Structure 1
Amino acid sequence: MEQELAFGGWAGILIMASYGLLMLGIGLFTFLRNRNLRNSNEEYYLGGKGLSIMVLFFTFYATQYSGNTIIGYAPQGYRIGFEWIQSITFMILVMVGYLLFAPRLYALSRKHNFITPSDWLDKRFRSKGITILGSFLMLYGLGNYLLEQLVAVGQGVSGLTGGTIPYQIAVVFFIIIMLIYSWLGGMRAVAYTDTMQGIALLFGVCILVIGSIIYFGGLPTSANYMATLSPEKLGVPEASGISGWFSMLLLTCIGAAIYPHAIQRIFSAKNESTLKNSLIGMAWMPFITTGVIFLVGIIGINAFPKLDVMESEQLVGMMANVIASQNAFFYWAMILLFGGIIAAIISTADSVLLTFSSVISKDLYGKFINSKASEHKQIIVGKISGILAVAVLLLLAWYPPATLYEIFVLKFELLIQIAPAFILGLYWKKLHTASVFTGMIVGTILASLMTFINMEPLGVFSGLWGLLVNLIICVCGSYLFQVTTEEQTEAERIIGL
């Protein structure tokens, strides 16, 4: 028997429009309150380096848990079963990744006034090659991540409204909202909306899993169903699956921690205590968010059996609609979830776009094309480049080329090639600049070729093979071609606290 869609028709349209207008209002309020946004890179891209604990926590939360988590992780759990419990583990490891470098990098950002992640590369190595290559790898990762958010908002709205709002209409509507809102508000507007949506998202996700257990039977029912019809989703992975599992953990631990827009949030903290307390709060979120979404995906196997790959991408919306149809409490709870998902995706997309624009405007245009450009002109160039980038990504998002999980993995393959420069460069004053550049470019080429031909020896992701070669060249080269005493002294001055 077909369920009536709780968010179908005008209800879905009204919810989508309301959240869009709310985000626009926050962007306009921030613009009117902070007129210096137009003339200062620090204010526009970092919120004046004054984000408080709660705001910083929620902007980290929105960056880490967005469309790829809420909309993308449940379908992956639906497709592969209990093996996807690894999603909780790798979100924990992301926090481990942050702790490897975040506190020290924050201290150095205050010492040297960093605005973008590439500022660190430029200051540490004084190499055009490393700065430009690192910037392009970041732009690749950011562009890929932005595409992921555009696909997520389309799949999410389409699923939540039962197709009343078509996928493509949802993508276009929120692209327009994002561009206006990003143009007006900068980092402060992003952080304020993150706080709003984070509260709604946490509440909605918890109610979603409670409703799923009540109305679809919970884990025992799903496990019995899988044992009968899909036993492979209950079994232990084969050797290649286990190696793939561990390589995914390592890929995410390193890759997600060095998200360029996450690094800009590190730079935005009011002080070091604020940063550390925000990261402590984030340590609990894998269980509360990723763990809950994993349960939703498993329960969905029984609730909506035999969905194909692309149909399963709308699983969260389908389950939310059924739960919302039951009574008034669940209806309003799912409205909060719906709005929270939309706001989370757009807030993340906005912050990604903000960092994308900053890398182009400040690191490429401001350093290498027009070094005399004012900060106001750099911001204008960044805004225009952001619009052009979104236009290109819109063409890809119109008919998504892959599932959200596949897009999620793809961005890490090349992004992690900047990890040796970022992390080793913070602690090792004898790191050899030419070896770092050679390792980065060889690792990038190797990972690209292996990804292109779909080659994953031993089930290990191609990006990790590239990183291994990258790291070997970087470390061995630093021992073979030792830096001069003057270079060591300069490195110690830069990385010394």
Structure 2
Amino acid sequence: MTELKFAGLDGVIILVAYAVIMLAIGWFAGRSDKTVNNSLSNYYLAGRNLGIIALFFTLYATQYSGNTIVGYAPSAYRTGLTWLQSISFMTIIIGIYLLFAPRMYVLGKKYNFITPSDWLSHRFKSKRVTILAIFLMLWGLGNYLLEQLVAIGHAVTSLTGGTIPYQVAVVGFILVMLAYEWMGGMRAVAFTDVMQGVVLMVGVVIFLIGAIYLAGGKIGTITESIANVDPGLVGVPDLTTSINWFSMLLLVGFGAAIYPHAVQRIFASKSERTLKRSFARMAWMPPITTGLVLFIGLIGIVVIPGLDTAGSEQLVGLLANEIAGINGFFYWVMIIFFGAIVAAIISTADSVLLSFSSIVSNDLYGKYINPTAPEKKKLMVGKIAGVVVISLLLWIAWNPPGTLYEIFVLKFELLVQVFPAFVLGIYWKKMAAKPVFWGMLLGAVVAGLMTWTGHKTVMGIHGGVIGLALNFLVAVVGSILVPSAEEDDEEVAAPALTRMPTQN
């Protein structure tokens, strides 16, 4: 992101204010629950007691972040109306959630699941399936965390006009994040999500108003103006692009819905009714969030035409500089808004780090290394693992690979391979462990090889989707041919588990 000429010292002040607020929230969350650092459930799931406001905003922060604005607007700038797919794939995520979230909540409540792999261990009773799924989930989380670290550095440097260098920005805010997360766990993460979510929503709307003003104030002529710049940006996409769009729907829809930190929010809900009401509100967020960001990117084509790929990655900063020059009101709104982008990125990073820590402490250490360890010790192992992985990713973040969008796509290729085992296993009790393992492994190998050899798509179809198709085929056909040893486990798919008495 380009340096914001309007910010500088004012940006530093805003960032310090956000940091202090986040630390105060962490302190308050830890103080309100004295057992938060003694219990896996209290630390990682907020005691399974998140109400509708906290749950909605933490789900919102899980699906969106400040990086949505920083990364998606440039994608819209480069691809034009084709980036309408961002609204559709964000919408399909909600639909996929509703396929399994209510039943997963019931199972999580009944069996006290902490992480997604708890469900896989319970369902398949296979160490191979569980360990492979853990590896794929950690891959996805680590990749997502790397994306947030890169974005934090660019956003802070931009907001402070270079006063805070990239490396100092990343390290400084990572320390803030670790501090409040260690103090309050999931509760602190959810409460910071509420703060950043409100400011981000308001900021996007005002940013859009300023961008429309710069474009001449006539919304109806924007498409015509884009056509004058590059007719291909508003034309009907070709067949390969259309196939790629559908492939992206599958990749993101199936992948994002089983983010470990997203699944853990299902477990953290106060009740099934609270969960469903939160998802009902989330259904409105794709057009309100990614839809407005799409429009911002399209306006950028008119206001700042001719940017190459590297230049378009700076689009939001370039537009913000122009908007801040309109008057004093927009000046301060842009500073607060970019501070909210930084806070939103951090709030996404803390959720990912918390989930990564939980998988290490509860699954790897708690299940396979030291099952008899007390929960307090498991928590400490998870916290230390979080610091170690952050340190490793910081080293990578000094020289970030590719554009933010490329990093975004990369994490789904392997994570999505967990989907058949995780979701189909809920409804089909004949699904067997061995075919599930081999399907997951073969799907991951195909997707990984295609990504790492540079063949990310074939005729527009992502490697992760090709791997997922193979994964489904092996798991389903194999389960039909190889009877499951757990076919008599009625608890897995019994109709009685589809609902639970709701709470007000």
TM-score tier (shorter): over 0.9
- Residue 383 of structure 2: SS of its match in structure 1? helix
2:501: which partner in 1? Answer: none
Distance in 2 separating the partners of 1:483 and 1:356: 31
Q: CA deviation at 1:441?
A: 0.7
Q: CA deviation at 1:169?
A: 2.8
Q: TM-score, normalised by structure 1?
A: 0.95
2:385: which partner in 1? Answer: 385
Q: Aligned pair in 2 of structure 1 residues 467, 342: CA closer, same or farther (>3 Å)?
A: same
Tell me if the contact between 1:108 and 1:495 (Cα under 8 Å) persists in the aligned partners. Answer: no
Distance in 2 separating the partners of 1:232 and 1:29: 53
2:502: which partner in 1? Answer: none
Q: Aligned pair in 2 of structure 1 residues 323, 161: CA closer, same or farther (>3 Å)?
A: farther
Instruction: Say yes or no: does 1:493 pair with 2:491.
Output: yes
1:150: which partner in 2? Answer: 149
1:472: which partner in 2? Answer: 473
What's the C-alpha RMSD, in Å, of the aligned pairs? 1.6
2:213: which partner in 1? Answer: 214
2:276: which partner in 1? Answer: 276
Identical-residue share of aligned pairs (%): 56
Q: CA deviation at 1:222?
A: 4.7
Q: Output the amino acid matched with 1:251.
A: L
Deviations 1:183-213 (A, max 9, x none): 2110000000111111111111111101110
1:347: which partner in 2? Answer: 347
Tell me if the contact between 1:50 and 1:268 (Cα under 8 Å) persists in the aligned partners. Answer: yes
Stretches (4+) displaced over 6 A: none
1:55: which partner in 2? Answer: 54
- Residue 300 of structure 1: SS of its match in structure 2? helix
2:174: which partner in 1? Answer: 175
1:65: which partner in 2? Answer: 64
Q: Aligned pair in 2 of structure 1 residues 6, 105: CA closer, same or farther (>3 Å)?
A: same
Instruction: Say yes or no: does 1:10 pair with 2:9.
Output: yes
Q: Output the amino acid matched with 2:477.
A: C
Deviations 1:334-367 (A, max 9, x none): 2332232111111110010000000011100110
Q: Output the amino acid matched with 1:392.
A: L
Distance in 1 separating the partners of 2:45 and 2:460: 39
5+ residue gaps in structure 2? 498-504
Distance in 1 separating the partners of 2:393 and 2:285: 30
27-36 or 332-341, which deviates more: 332-341
Q: CA deviation at 1:251?
A: 0.8
Q: CA deviation at 1:324?
A: 2.3
Deviations 1:357-399 (A, max 9, x none): 0001110011001111111011100011101101111112112
Deviations 1:297-336 (A, max 9, x none): 1111222233332332232233223212322322332233
Tell me if the contact between 1:159 and 1:316 (Cα under 8 Å) persists in the aligned partners. Answer: no
Tell me if the contact between 2:443 and 2:468 (Cα under 8 Å) persists in the aligned partners. Answer: yes
2:256: which partner in 1? Answer: 256
Q: Aligned pair in 2 of structure 1 residues 230, 161: CA closer, same or farther (>3 Å)?
A: farther
Tell me if the contact between 1:161 and 1:317 (Cα under 8 Å) persists in the aligned partners. Answer: no
276-285 or 13-22, which deviates more: 13-22
5+ residue gaps in structure 1? none
Tell me if the contact between 2:23 and 2:176 (Cα under 8 Å) persists in the aligned partners. Answer: yes
Q: Aligned pair in 2 of structure 1 residues 221, 402: CA closer, same or farther (>3 Å)?
A: farther
Distance in 1 separating the partners of 2:222 and 2:78: 13
2:96: which partner in 1? Answer: 97
1:189: which partner in 2? Answer: 188
Deviations 1:90-123 (A, max 9, x none): 1111111101111110111011110111100111
232-241 or 372-381, which deviates more: 232-241
- Residue 102 of structure 1: SS of its match in structure 2? helix
Q: Output the amino acid matched with 2:255.
A: G
Q: Output the amino acid matched with 1:347.
A: S
